[in-house]
Amino acid sequence: MAFALNVPKLSFTGEGAVEESVAILSQKNLKKALVVSDKNLVDLGILDSLFSALKDADFDYVVFSEVTPNPTASLVRKGASFYKESECDCFIAVGGGSPVDCAKAIRIVTSNEGDICDFDGVGLVKNEGAFFIAINTTAGTSAEMTSNSVITDEDNAVKMVIVDAKQIPDIAVNDPTLMIGLPKSVTAATGMDALTHAIESYVTPGAHTLTKPTALEAIRLIAKWLPVAVEDGSNLNAREQMACAQFLAGMSFNSAGLGLVHAMAHQPGATHDLPHGVCNAILLPVVCEFNSETNPEPFRAVAEAMGGITFDLNDAQAATLAVELINKLSIEVGIPSGFSELSIAETDLEVWIDKAMADVCLGGNPRQPNPEEVLALYKKAM
Ligand SMILES: [Fe+2]
C-alpha cells in the first residue's frame, strides 16, 4: 500500500503569519468567521493581532471563547449551535491543542449528520467542512496541522480520538510572537508533548523514509531549544525554533502514527484533567525503556538527536542513554517526576488499563503490551 503523507495545503511560519493567513481568507467568497479560542488568551491580548487583521480586511467574525483544557463533547455541541445561530461560514481557531481540537470537532458536526461522539475512531468523517485557519499559540501539539482531534466524552469519562485527514486545517499558522507570553510550565509540557510525538513516530513500525528525517530534526531542535524557551520565554528565536520543531514532529506523527505513550497518557488526562504534555512527559521514558527491551536499535538515533555520543555503545546501551537524556531534559524543564506528585493514587491506575488497551494510538506502538504490562508501566510512572 502506498504511503500517505498528510499535511495542510498551506502553512505560514514566522512573524506576520497571522496577517498573511487573513489576507488569504479575505480573498475567499466568505462572510463571517467563528473564532474559537479560550477566555484566557482573549484576556491576555493574544488575539489582538488577529482582530486587527480581520477589521483591516473588513471581515466579520464572532468569538466563541469558552474552550477549556480537555474540551468536552457538550462544549462542541454548544459551539456548533453558536456557529449556526451566528450564520458563520468559516473557522479561525486560536490556541494550543484544546481550542484547535474543539474547532475541528465543531467543524465536523456543522458539516456532517450526527453527534460528535459518532465520529470517535478512524476515517468516519464524510464531509470536510468549512474553510479553516488554525493559529497555534503553543509549541506544541501540532493540532494546527494534524488529522486528529481529542475530545472528552464526559458521560463515559473517555477521551475520544477522532482521526481523519478531513480535519486538517486549510491554513496552519505559527507566529512565534504569539508564544512569547506562554508560562514556563505550559512551554515545558507542550514541548515535551512535541518530543513524544517525534520519538513515538520515529520508533513506530508506521515510520517512513518521508517521516523519519522530520522526527529526528524535531528531536534535535527540542533538545537544544526547549530549555532555552522555558528559561527565557521572550527569546523569539527559541520560540520560533520550537514552533518549527513541533511542526516537524507533526509532519511525522500525522502520517506515521503514535504509540503506547499517548495511549496511556490519554487516560489520566480524561479522568483527572491533567495536562496532556505532562502525562506524556512522565510516561515517555518508561515506555521507551519498555519498547527498547525488544528492539533497541531505533533508540540509537534518538539518543544521537538528543546530543548523546553513541559510537562506543551497543544498541541496548544507546537506548539506555536515550532514556537518560529524556529524563534529564524533563528534570531540566521542571516536569513532575511521577503521577504521585499529581495527587494520583495507585488505586486510580486500574481504571485506566482497559481504556489504554482500547486507545487508537496503541496500534502504532512497536511492542504490543498486555494489560498486566500496562499496569506495571503505570506503576513505574508513579
Ligand atoms: Fe500529544
Q: Which three cell numbers stand for residue 283?
A: 510516561
362 Cα to the center of ligand 1, angstroms: 13
Non-local (6+) Cβ contacts of 264 within 8 A are: 279, 283, 287, 352, 356, 359, 374, 377, 378
Give the model confidence (pLDDT) of 296-343 as tens digits: 999 999 999 999 999 999 999 999 999 999 999 999 999 999 999 998
CATH superfamily of 184-380: Dehydroquinate synthase-like - alpha domain (1.20.1090.10)
The CATH number of domain 10-179 is 3.40.50.1470:
no
Residues with CB under 5 Å of ion ligand 1 are 193
What single DSSP character describes residue 38?
B
Cβ–Cβ < 8 Å for 365, 260 = yes
pLDDT at residue 143, as a whole number: 95
Edge-to-edge strands, sheet with 148-153: 121-122, 158-163, 148-153
Output the CA–CA distances (angstroms, integers) from residue 356 to 6, 264, 267, 351, 375, in the order listed. 26, 5, 7, 9, 10
Q: Pairing state of beta strands 148-153 and 158-163?
A: antiparallel
* Domain 10-179 matches domain 184-380 at the CATH topology level: no
Q: Ligand 1: distance of its center to the CA of 141 in Å?
A: 6
Distance 290 CA to ligand 1 centre (A): 19
Q: Residue 19 contacts by C-beta under 8 Å, 6 or more apart in sequence?
A: 49, 53
Q: What does the pLDDT read at residue 113?
A: 96
Tell me which residues of the chain have a pLDDT lower than 70.
none
Show Cβ contacts of residue 68 under 8 Å, excluding neighbours closer than 6 positions.
Answer: 38, 75, 98
CB atoms within 10 A of CB 180: 14
Edge-to-edge strands of the sheet including 10-13?
10-13, 171-174, 131-136, 90-95, 32-36, 60-64
Nearest alpha-carbon partner for 241 in 14, 47, 19, 17: 14
CA of 140 to the centre of ligand 1 (A): 8
Beta carbons of 131 and 25 less than 8 angstroms apart: yes
Of 174, 127, 198, which Cα lies nearest the Cα of 14?
Answer: 174
Gap from CA of 258 to ligand 1 centroid (Å): 9
Instruction: Give the Cα separation of 52 and 37 in Å (integer).
Output: 16
Q: How far apart are CA 355 and CA 74, in angstroms?
A: 21
CA 22 – ligand 1 centroid, Å: 27
**Ligand 1 center to 157 CA (angstroms):** 19
196 CA → ligand 1 middle, Å: 7
Predicted confidence (pLDDT) per residue in 89-103, tens digit: 999 999 999 999 999
Helix orientation angle between 260-272 and 346-358, rounded to the nearest 10 degrees: 130
Distance 269 CA to ligand 1 centre (A): 11
Q: 174 C-alpha to center of ligand 1: Å?
A: 17
Buried b (16+ CB within 10 A) or exposed e, 308-337: bebeebebeebbbbbbebbbebbeebebee
Go through 245-268 and write b for each residue having 16 or more CB atoms within 10 A of its CB, e for each that does not: bbbbbbbbbbbbbbbbbbbbbbbb
Buried b vs exposed e over 340-375: b needs ≥16 C-beta within 10 Å?
eeeebeeebbeebbebbeebbbbbbbbeebeeeebb
CA of 144 to the centre of ligand 1 (A): 12
Ligand 1 centroid from CA 197, angstroms: 6
Going from the Cα of 253 to the center of ligand 1, the distance in angstroms, rounded, reads: 9
Q: Count CB atoms within 10 A of the CB of residue 66.
A: 16
> CB–CB of 133/93 below 8 Å?
yes
Q: What residue type is assigned to position 225 of the chain?
A: W
CA distance 257 to 204: 7
- How is the chain split into domains, by residue range? 10-179, 184-380
